[in-house]
Structure formats: C-alpha cells, structure tokens
Amino acid sequence: MQRIFIKGIKGGIGSTSIVANLACVLKKSDVDVVAIDLDAKSDLGLHFGLKWTTTKGWSNEDTFEDALLHFRKDSDGVVFLPFGDNEATLDDITSIINNCKNLDYKESAWIIFDCPSHINISHYPLDQNDIVIELVTCDAICHSLIYKRLQTLKTVESTWKHFFVVNRYNAASVLEFDLFSLWQSTLPLMAPFFINSDEVIKEATANRNVALNCAPYSVANDDFETLAGWLVSKAAF
C-alpha cells in the first residue's frame, strides 16, 4: 500500500480538507483509498458524511481489533477511520500507523493519514516508500518554518519522500507571487504547483461533500486532480 502523510507546517492550513478531497479524486480514478484521522480535532469524518453525533473512533479503543469497528465507507467508496473523542499519545498514534499495515488491501491501494500539525513527522514510523506532504501557505511565517524544517530534515537523515505543497494560493497577492517564485527557484522539496484558494472547498464542506461532487469543473477540483497525478508520479519513483 502506498502511504501518504499529510500535515500542515502550522495549524489550519488545510490538511483535513486536502485529505478528503484527494481521497475522493483518487477513488474516482479507481484507486482503493483508506483515510485515517490522526488529529484529535477528529473532523475528517465530517468531510465524508459521518454523522455529527458519531463521536467515537480509534482513540476510544484499546486494541486495533476494536478500532476496526469504527471504520466507515463514504458514498464515493472511500474507507475512513475517525479519530474519536479520547486523547492519544504519540505511542497510540504510532501503533495505529503500524497496525494499518495489516489491513487487507491490494498493493495498489493508498492509505492517507490526516496528521496533526503539532507533532513532528520524524517521530512517526516512516520508511523510504512513504510520502510526506507538508502543507504551507505563501507567507513569511511559513518561509521561516520551511527553513527550520529543512535544517531538522538534514539532521534526522529522513529516508521518506518529503515535499512541501502550497495551499490556499491567492493569485492576486504580490507577496504570495514573490514567495512562490522565490521558493520554486531556491528551495529543495517544493512541489512545482500550488493549490489555489477557492471558496468551493469551504462550500463543499458546508454542504457535507467534496469539490469533486459539488463543483467538478472548479479550480479546486482541477487542483486536486493535479495533486493526485503528481503524487502518482512520485509514488512510482
């Protein structure tokens, strides 16, 4: 199974929205997709039509066996696992990630983890086939965070495939244009495209759906298809 870990370099950048939209785009192209919520906010399920009153998830169980009962399938066929409303330590998260390896899926399936922004990705059990996407926005704080991350990535000798992807890009902003151009020509690990800021993403969520179903011809859906295609090429590498 191809594992993808998606996290924001800081909070609120859009990891949950991107996991949900990406999962549905991949599923549409006939890839089996499993999405796992690793964030205690436990909001991934809401993107997949999980009832608001369903609050339990893997964090409420002691064993993976019991956590299995919390898996759901959305109307597009994406299988997902809600976090739940209990607390989870790094050890708990690590063991969920490891246990997901035992899920009975074909080699061609993808498993996408919605990761909390505050846990350093290098604490996860990652291997060389894993893809880690760290989402950034084109602002000066992310510029600073990317430089810090690049320094730590050097010291931990990361073996996984690490990339930065720009989300919520505002084409009307001079600052964002300046930063995007600068990053493209000076930084390693930057994906060669951005995901535009698009109201469709918020509206789809408000309507309990994803861009693919609400607005298939939107900029947002185009961007998610670009992201999916690029990930497929990185996975094959």
Ligand X SMILES: Nc1ncnc2c1ncn2[C@@H]1O[C@H](COP(=O)(O)OP(=O)(O)O)[C@@H](O)[C@H]1O
Strands 131-136 and 161-169: what pairing? parallel
Give yes or no for residue 185 binding other proteins (CB under 8 A). yes
Q: Residues 192, 184: contact at Cβ < 8 Å?
A: yes
- Least Å distance between CB 141 and other proteins? 8
- Least Å distance between CB 15 and Mg ion? 5
182 binds, among ligand X, other proteins, Mg ion, none (CB under 5 to 8 A by kind): other proteins
156 binds, among ligand X, Mg ion, other proteins, none (CB under 5 to 8 A by kind): none
- Choosing from 12, 129, 147, 206, the residue that interacts with other proteins (CB under 8 A) is 147
197 binds, among Mg ion, ligand X, other proteins, none (CB under 5 to 8 A by kind): ligand X
- Dihedral (CA of 125, 127, 131, 134) sign: positive
- Least Å distance between CB 116 and ligand X? 8
- Choosing from 89, 186, 188, 233, the residue that interacts with other proteins (CB under 8 A) is 186
Interface segment toward Mg ion; rule CB under 5 A; list 10-18, 93-101, 118-126, 173-181? 10-18
CA distances from 177 to 27, 45, 68, 138, 201 (A): 32, 34, 45, 8, 21
134 binds, among Mg ion, ligand X, other proteins, none (CB under 5 to 8 A by kind): none
Q: Residues 79, 35: contact at Cβ < 8 Å?
A: yes
CA triplet 157, 126, 6: central angle to 5 degrees? 105
Q: Residues 101, 93: contact at Cβ < 8 Å?
A: no
Question: Where in 31-70 is the site for Mg ion (CB under 5 A)?
Answer: 39
The gap between the terminal CA atoms of the chain, to the nearest Å, is 14
Residues forming contacts to other proteins in the complex (CB under 8 A) are 140, 143-144, 147, 175, 178-179, 181-182, 185-186
